[in-house]
A and B are shown apart, each in its own frame.
Chain A
Amino acid sequence: MITRVSIALMSLILAGCSSEEKKSISSKELKILKITVGAEPEDIDPHVVTGVPEHHIIAALTEGLVAEDPVDLHPVPGVAEKWEVSEDGKVYTFQIRENAKWSNGDTLTANDFAESFKRILTPALASKYAYMLFVMKGAEDYSTGKLKDFSKVGVKAINDRTLQINLNAPTPYFLSLLNHYTWFPVHIATVKKYNGLTKRGSGWTKPENFVSNGPFTLKSWKLGRKLVVEKSSTYWDSKSTKLDEIHFFSIELETTQENAFRAGQLHNIYNLHIDKVATYKKEHADELRIKPHLASYFYRFNVNKKPCDDVRIRKALTMAIDRESLVKNVTKGEQMASTFFTPPGVAGYTARARFKEDVGEAQKLLAEAGYPNGEGFPSLELLYNTTEGHRIIAEAIQQMWKKNLNINITLQNQEWKVYLDRQREMDYQISRAGWTGDYPDPNTFLDMWTSWSQQNQTGWADPKYDALIRKAAITKDPNARLEVFQEAEEILMDQLPIIPIYIYTRVYALHPAVKNWHANVLDHHPWKHIDLDLSLLKK
C-alpha cells in the first residue's frame, strides 16, 4: 500500500516536470540573467545593510547622484546630470536631472537626497555604515547626537533640482564615495508610511511596498530562494537597460553554486572552490575569471600583550614568512604576496614602503629581543575563525616560523562571533583578519590604523601616524596627499602592528553569454550595461 502511494507520488512529480519545462522555454525570449551573489540578502534598505550581496542587489535597484562607468568605474552622471566643484574643493553642487523618477512615478528631487542623508545619520536608526557620510560637514556630530539641528549639516536642497553638499575637507574620492549605497536615496514617504525612519525591518522593503529609483525595480523576494528585479520603465535611462530581469539566487555553498552553473541553472559561480581552479584553467578557461580585488589579507598583533609588544619580534615574525610560496602552494588563487598593506594601484597609489622577507635578519632580530634561535620563546597563539581556507594558511605560517625561527605557536580556531568578540575585547595575541576597501582610495585602508578607529583593534597607536592621516584629509593637492599616505604607510610598515600577507583575488566563473561584464578591483558591475547573448545560452 505504502509503496503504491509512493509510486503514485513519484509519477505525480514526474508529471510536474513537463509543465515546468514548457514554462522555461516560453521565457527564453526574455533576457533573464540568473546569478548568485552568495548569501541571502539581510535586507535591501541601503541605510541598514552592510554586506556585499546586498550591495549587488541594491546597485540594481537604486541609483545615487553619480553612477559608475562599466569599465573602470570612474564617476559618470547618475541622478545628477552634472555637478560643479567649488574652488576650494569643499562644495559640490549637483544638478538633478529633470526626468529622474521613482518607480511609483514620483519625481525624484534634491530634497529626497537631503532627507535620505538625514535618515541614515539619525542616531536612533543606528546605521552601522553612517560613518561613510562623515566627510560631510556636521554629519558626524548629527549622527552621534551632538548636533540636533539637521539644517546645520552640510547638505542643502537649494531647489527641487539643485543639491549642495558641503564637505569638511577637499575629498578627492568624494564622487567615488557617492557610489556607496549609504549615499543612495530612499523614498522617504514610503519609509515613513511603514514607520521605518528610525527603525530597521519596518516592512517598506517588502516587494509590494518597495519604491526605488534605479534601472531595475523589485519584483519578488522569496526568502532563501531568490530575489527578482525587473527592468524599470520609470528609470531615466531605461533605454540603456539591456536585461529584462535579474534573478539573484541565494546560494552560499561554493560546490552548490558550481553544480547549478554546470547544470545550466546559473550564469555564474560567485566563488569558485580553490580545488577546482586547476580543472577550470584546463577545461573551462573561457568561463574562469581570476581578478585582483581591493582587499588585503593580514594578521593583527595585539601590541599590548607579550611577546608581540616588542617591535623586533613583530618584525622577525613578519619577515620569516615566505609569501610567494604561500600563495603559490597554499591559497592557489593567484593572490599577490604583499609586503605592504594597501592594494597597489588604488587611485594612483602604490605603497612605497615594503619590508623585506629575510630569514637571517629575522633570526637576528629575534636574538636581539632575547630569544636566540627561538630559545625560551613564550607561548604564542594565533586566533582565526573556523574556515578551511584560514586553517591551511595558519598551518603553513606556523610551519614557516618553526622552520625559520624555531618557535612553536599554537593555532586556535573559533566560531565567527566568538572570534569577533575576542578580537574586539583584545583577547588574543595574533589574529587573522581581512579588509575590503569601501571605496577606491588609500584612505579606506590607512585610516583604520589611527588611534580613534574602531577597526584598529591592535592596541597600536602612533601620534605621528594619526597626524599624517589627519593631514591627508585636508591636503588639497592630490599628489601631495598621496605622498602623505606614503609616509603614513612607511610608519605602519616600520612599526608593524599587522602582518600583511596577500592581496585578495576574486576567483569566479561567468557564462560566456554574459556580456559587458568588466573586471575591476571593487567587483562592481553596473547592471544596466550587462547584456546576455541568448544565442550563446542555448548551446
Chain B
Amino acid sequence: MIKFILRRILETVPVLLCVAAMTFFMCRLAPGGPFDDDKQVTAEVREQLNKQFNLDKPLHVQFYQYLINLPNLQSFKYPSRTVGDIISQKFPVSAKLGFLAMCIALGIGIMFGVIASLRPNSYIDYIPSSLAMIGICLPTFVMGPILIYIFSLKLKWLPATGWGGFDGDIFFASDMILPSLTLGLFYAAYISRLTRGGMLDILTQDYIRTAKAKGASAPRVLMKHALRGGLLPVISFMGPAVAGLIAGSFVIETIFNIPGLGQDFVKSAFNRDYTLVLGVVMFYATLIIVLNLIVDILQVTLNPKLKFES
C-alpha cells in the first residue's frame, strides 16, 4: 500500500507541472492584461507597471519565478495581498462551507437513498426519489434565493447574507445554515440517487441472502453488509465532489456574499490576475489529486475485490 501511495505521489509531479504550464500560458495568450482599466494609461506608466510586476522579463523566466515562489507573489488586482494570503484567508471559509454542506448532503442523501431502496417502486421509493429529482433539477442559484426569501425575508429567522456572524469570527453562526443547506441539498439529491442505485444492486447479491439466512437482523444486514457495498458509487463520486465542495462554490459564495475561494477562480481569470489564477488553479489541482488518492484507498478498503495494484 505504501508503494502504491508513493507511486501515485510521484505521478502527480508531471501532472501538476502540466497544469501549471497550461494555466500560465493560456492566461498570457488571453487578450488584455491586469492593468487594463476603463481609464487608459500612457505607454510610460504601462512600462513602469510591467517593470514593477516583473512582466518585462522573458516569459520562461516569469514562469520559473512563479513556480518557485508562487505563494509569496503579489496579486495584481489586490497588490497589498499575496497569493498565499488570499488562499489562506479564503480557503478555510470555503472548506467549512463545503464540510457543512457535505454533512448535510451525506446525511440526507444516504438516508433518502437507503429508504428508497428498501421497497423499490413503492410510495416510499417514489417520494424520496422524486424529491431527489427536484433537488437535482433545481440549480443552487434558484434554491438559494428561494431559501433566502422564505427564511430571511418572510420568516426573518436567519440572516440573508454573510458568513461567521456580526464580526465574521464566530465559529458557528446562524448565517451558515442557509448557504450550507443550499449547497448540501444539491449534492444530497445526487447522493440519494447513487445510494439507491448502489443499494438496489447490492441487496440482490448472494452474500446478502446468506447474511439473512444466517439469521442476521434486518438492521444489521443493512448497516453492516449492504451499506458497505452500496455506498461504493457514492464514494467514487465523493472524491471530485469533495474537492469541488471545499474549494468553494462561485454561485453560493456570490448569492450569500461569502468570502470564500470560489469567487477567486472566476474573478481572477476575468481580472487577468496572473499570479492568483495560477495560485488557485494549482491549489485546486493538488486538492483533487489528494482526494482522488484517498478515494482510491477507501475503495480498496471497502471492496474486497480490489487490490493495490494499479
Residues of A within 8 A of B (CB): 2-3, 5-7, 9-10, 12-17, 19-20, 23-24, 27, 40, 42-43, 45, 48, 50, 123-130, 144-145, 198-203, 205-206, 222-226, 249-253, 255-256, 259-260, 262-263, 265, 415-418, 420-422, 424, 433-434, 454-455, 457
Contacts and interface: CB of A to CB of B under 8 A. Distances in A.
B161 A265 contact: yes
B111 to A, nearest CB: 6
A251 B257 contact: yes
Given A20-B166, A265-B161, A417-B33, A128 B41 contact: yes
Interface string B42-70: 10111011011000000000000000000
Contacts of A249: 257
Interface string B236-268: 000000000000000000111101100100000
A326 to B, nearest CB: 22
B21 interface: no
B36 A263 contact: no
A201 to B, nearest CB: 3
Interface stretch (B102-110, B279-287, B294-302): B102-110
Contacts of B168: 222, 225-226
Contacts of B153: 259, 262-263
A14 B174 contact: yes
Contact of A263 (B77, B86, B161, B259): B161
Contacts of B139: none
Interface string B71-114: 00011011111000110011000000000100110110011000
A421 B31 contact: yes
A17 B174 contact: yes
A128 B37 contact: yes
Contact of B90 (A5, A223, A421): A223
A454 B257 CA distance: 36
B268 to A, nearest CB: 12
B192 to A, nearest CB: 13
Given A205-B80, A223-B259, A3 B107 contact: yes
A256 B161 contact: yes
A200 B35 CA distance: 13
A274 to B, nearest CB: 17
Interface in B142-185: 145, 148, 152-153, 156, 159-163, 165-168, 170-174, 176-177
B2 interface: no
Given A17-B174, A417-B31, A130 B45 contact: yes
Contacts of B41: 128, 454
A422 B36 CA distance: 11
24 contacts: A2-B107, A6-B107, A13-B176, A16-B171, A19-B170, A20-B173, A20-B174, A23-B167, A128-B45, A144-B44, A200-B79, A201-B74, A201-B81, A225-B163, A249-B257, A260-B160, A260-B257, A262-B160, A420-B36, A422-B31, A454-B39, A454-B42, A455-B39, A457-B40
Nearest to A423: B40
A119 to B, nearest CB: 14
Nearest to A252: B254
A3 B259 CA distance: 28
Nearest to A12: B172
Contacts of B31: 417-418, 421-422
Contacts of B152: 259, 262-263
Contact of B160 (A42, A259, A418): A259
B193 interface: no
Given A20-B173, A417-B272, 6 more contacts: A13-B172, A42-B79, A225-B168, A255-B145, A416-B270, A421-B32
Considering residues B36, B49, B85, which has the most beta carbons from chain A within 10 angstroms of its beta carbon?
B36
Interface of B: 30-33, 35-42, 44-46, 48-49, 51-52, 74-75, 77-81, 85-86, 89-90, 100, 103-104, 106-107, 110-111, 145, 148, 152-153, 156, 159-163, 165-168, 170-174, 176-177, 254-257, 259-260, 263, 270-272
Contacts of A130: 45
B49 A48 contact: no
B55 to A, nearest CB: 12
Nearest to B106: A2
Contact of B103 (A6, A14, A42, A128): A6
A422 B40 CA distance: 12
Contacts of B165: 16, 20, 23
Nearest to A129: B39
Nearest to A11: B172
A201 B33 CA distance: 18
B257 A256 contact: yes
Given A222-B168, A417-B36, A124 B48 contact: yes
B162 A265 contact: yes
A379 B302 CA distance: 64
A259 B257 CA distance: 10
A200 B75 CA distance: 11
Contacts of A15: 172
A42 B90 contact: no
Contacts of B170: 16, 19-20
Contact of B104 (A6, A20, A224, A420): A6
Given A260-B257, A417-B30, A40 B39 contact: no
B234 to A, nearest CB: 11
Considering residues A2, A249, A455, which has the most beta carbons from chain B within 10 angstroms of its beta carbon?
A2
B189 to A, nearest CB: 16
Q: Which 3 pairs show the lowest CB-CB distances between chains A and B?
A: A201-B79, A417-B32, A224-B259
A134 to B, nearest CB: 11
Contact of A50 (B39, B89, B107): B39
Contacts of A128: 35, 37, 39, 41, 45
A225 B168 CA distance: 8
B166 A123 contact: no
A224 B80 contact: no
A10 B107 CA distance: 11
Contacts of B271: 417
B110 to A, nearest CB: 6
A126 B166 contact: no
B255 A253 contact: yes
A256 B48 contact: no
Contact of B45 (A16, A126, A198): A126
Contacts of A43: 78-80
B49 A126 contact: yes
B272 A253 contact: no
A124 B52 contact: yes
A16 B90 CA distance: 21
A50 B34 CA distance: 13
A43 B111 CA distance: 48
B257 A13 contact: no
A497 B74 CA distance: 40
B235 to A, nearest CB: 13
Contact of B161 (A127, A203, A260, A424): A260
B118 to A, nearest CB: 16
A505 to B, nearest CB: 19
Nearest to B38: A420
A290 to B, nearest CB: 23
Contact of B81 (A145, A223, A416, A457): A223
B52 to A, nearest CB: 6
B252 to A, nearest CB: 11
A223 B166 contact: no
A223 B38 contact: no
Contacts of A123: 44, 48
Contacts of A200: 52, 79-80
A537 B49 CA distance: 46
Contacts of A24: 166
A283 B16 CA distance: 55
